Chain A
């Protein structure tokens, strides 16, 4: 169906209007975070900001009163380590599944199914028990292992899809030129699968950064909290300070948002593959 230029503009405008409505919650917490409390506690809050009232006080107060920076660094450390571990492990497994016939084929499908069905609220119970015995409670390593193990089945499947799209002949040509099998995988296939690695990294980042359940249960000291746990602790307070809370929400959502908007095309491809492959 070829649309006329006028129709295309109309579709664009309609789509933008819908996007504006859908993104209103984010707009609203952003607006709240830059408004003084007096303007917030209004019976009839204006939908558009009064530019003269805009202030960053809530952000200043947030960083002054709460260990926000520590929480963000904790989240970043756990997320980056989880990405590294998950990608390393699932790139190898995904390559193996794509190139060799092994018993891994069925095992991987089974693992994917189990990981889709396993309630996090259930699996966190044995994590808590095992981590207590292994001394992994209150450690970032424990969280990284928990998150990586939950993500690996899906990212492996996703990366297998990306490797499947690379013709085998490329590696075979390299092997004729004297490359070993693993060297060909490393030097030829892996660089071409870079969009897949980007998609996998974005997926793991979004899921790990958002994790509340594992982080809350396996880390109880405030200096070990991740940013999600910190945010949730604000809400338990007697009087919720909405300006600080929304400022904290904006700060914590900013990194994933940037990552998402940059890597969205890869992610969409990978997610669609991962969701249709089986």
Chain B
């Protein structure tokens, strides 16, 4: 065997287990779900699923289903409502952690902790804090005179969406801190010194020195976290389960409910494929837009 062939064998041999794992448990399931989405009709017995006739019915039904459009709207509201505040919070904290101060490593660790907390635990903490009768939030709002009657945050149709957005912000802001901090630390300090000598204000230094260097990382982090929020399941499922009256039912929850509560696997798969397509379009468009002109 020649040295080149030997190297190729090693290179592909090392890749093979990862490729097989992803092929067997990502690509093949993806193929199965596409096929399932084209099976018309309903069968609680999945062994008979493959005997149902093939056709585009599920997709046609999905795009004309007002429930799907409502869920799409809820998903968009949920994602935007999460990402915008989480980004601003993350950026603010990253700027703070970019300064030098004693104990910075530990403060940074503490601020990133929510990222490691499982979604179910986040859900429990916020459900309890925002409990209508015994929640600490209502108690403090009463003490401050901001409310006179208890607000049932997760049960009220108007407040439910903000109520599930808040724990989601809490879980995802650390990702912005982490990526933006890494980008900030790549900004050469001399640039700031030079801008300062030239008499730039703090805002001008941020706008014209810091922002251009972290812009790419910020755009990428926003895209990644938007995708994450669009796909998020645990927090909503464990707090409201999509209720009240579908006020917090995102597409992910709708897909899950259709599949595992009503056993409409074909329809659930079709709605899920539309969600995946939306994610794909969203990421391609935003990657194109966020690229600086000329590159």
- Complex Cα distance, B110 from A268, in Å, reads 13
Most chain A CB neighbours (cut-off 10 Å) among B15, B175, B220, B227: B15
Report yes or no: A235 in contact with B127, Cβ–Cβ below 8 A.
yes
Contact B252 A121 (CB under 8 A): yes
B279 touches A129 (CB 8 A): no
- Size class of A's contact patch? 35 or more
Kindly list chain A residues whose C-beta atoms are within 8 Å of the C-beta of B7.
100, 181
Which chain B residues lie closer than 8 Å to A11 at the CB level? 96, 99, 101
- Nearest residue, chain B, Cβ from A40: B134
A128 contacts B46, CB within 8 Å?
yes
Give the docked Cα–Cα distance between A217 and B265 (Å): 14
Stretch at the interface among A52-60, A61-69, A205-213: A205-213
Contact present for B231 and A260 (CB under 8 Å): no
Given A149-B24, A152-B22, verify A245-B124 contact (CB < 8 Å).
yes
A212 touches B118 (CB 8 A): yes
Contact A116 B224 (CB under 8 A): yes
Contacts of A239 in B (CB 8 A): none
Across-interface contacts of B251 in A (CB, < 8 A):
119
Q: Residue A122 at the B interface, CB < 8 A?
A: yes
Expressed in whole angstroms, the Cα–Cα distance for A272 and B224 within the complex equals 12
User: Given A15-B97, A212-B119, A264-B109: A121 and B12 within 8 A (CB)?
Assistant: no
CA–CA, A126 and B32, complex, Å:
6
Alpha-carbon separation in the docked complex, A132 to B120 (Å): 26
Contact of A100 (CB < 8 Å), options: B11, B118, B227: B11
Which candidate, B56-64, B76-84, B233-241, is the interface stretch facing chain A?
B233-241
Confirm or deny: A84 has a beta carbon within 8 angstroms of a beta carbon on chain B.
no
Are A271 and B25 in contact, CB atoms less than 8 angstroms apart? no
Q: How far is the CB of A142 from chain B (nearest CB, A)?
A: 10
Residues in A whose Cβ lies below 8 Å from that of B256: 121, 124, 213
Which residue from A40, A122, A127, A209 sits with its C-beta under 8 Å from B269?
A: A122
Report B206-256 residues with CB < 8 Å from chain A CB.
217, 220-221, 224, 227, 230-231, 233-234, 237-238, 251-253, 255-256
A118 / chain B contacts, CB cutoff of 8 Å = 26, 30, 231, 276, 279
Contacts of A206 in B (CB 8 A): 115-116
Q: Across the interface, do A212 and B36 meet the contact criterion of CB distance under 8 Å?
A: no
Q: Please name all residues of chain A whose beta carbon is closer than 8 Å to the beta carbon of B294 when the two chains form the complex.
A: none
Interface residue? A176 (CB, 8 A): no
B193 surroundings in chain A (CB, below 8 A)? 1
The residues of A that contact B259 with a CB separation of less than 8 Å are: 124-125, 128
Contact of B136 among A28, A121, A146 (CB under 8 A): A28
Question: Of residues A26, A88, A246, which shows the largest number of chain B Cβ atoms within 10 Å of its Cβ?
Answer: A26
B124-149 to A contact mask, C-beta < 8 Å, 1/0: 11111101011010010011000000
Tell me which residues across on chain B come within 8 A of A3, comparing CB atoms.
99-101
Nearest chain A residue, comparing its CB with the CB of B166: A25
B-contact bits for A172-209, CB 8 A (1 contact / 0 none): 00000000011000000000000000000000001001
Given contacts A25-B129, A104-B15, A232-B238, contact A111 B111 (CB under 8 A): no
B99 near A276 with CB under 8 A, answer no
What residues of A have a CB within 8 angstroms of the CB of B163 in the complex? none
Q: Which residues of the other chain, A, contact B275 by a CB distance below 8 angstroms?
A: 119, 122
List, in ascending order, chain B residues with CB within 8 A of A275's CB. 175, 178-179, 182, 217, 220-221, 224
The digit string for B20-38, where 1 denotes a CB below 8 A from any CB of A, is: 0110111011101100100
| Residue contact B101 to A8, C-beta cutoff 8 Å | yes
CA distance A259 to B141 in the complex (A): 36
CB-defined contacts of B104 to chain A, threshold 8 Å: 15
Tell me, rounded to whole Å, the shortest Cβ–Cβ distance linking A209 to chain B: 6
A107 close to B (CB within 8 Å): yes
Q: Is B42 close to A, CB under 8 A?
A: no
> What string of 1s and 0s marks CB contacts (under 8 Å) between B84-108 and chain A?
0000000001001101111111011
Q: Across the interface, do B192 and A1 meet the contact criterion of CB distance under 8 Å?
A: yes
Bound CA–CA A115/B237 (angstroms)? 21
B103: chain A residues within 8 A (beta carbon): 12
Q: In the complex, what distance in Å separates the CA atom of A40 from the CA atom of B133? A: 11
Other than A99-B11, A122-B272, give 10 A-B pairs with Cβ distance below 8 A: A29-B124, A44-B142, A96-B14, A100-B10, A122-B276, A127-B25, A145-B21, A249-B120, A272-B182, A275-B175
Cross-chain pairs A/B with CB under 8 angstroms, 8 sampled: A92-B14, A102-B8, A122-B275, A125-B268, A149-B22, A210-B118, A235-B127, A256-B116
Q: For the complex of A and B, list the 4 residue pairs with the smallest distance between their C-beta atoms, beginning with the closest.
A: A122-B272, A149-B25, A100-B11, A272-B182
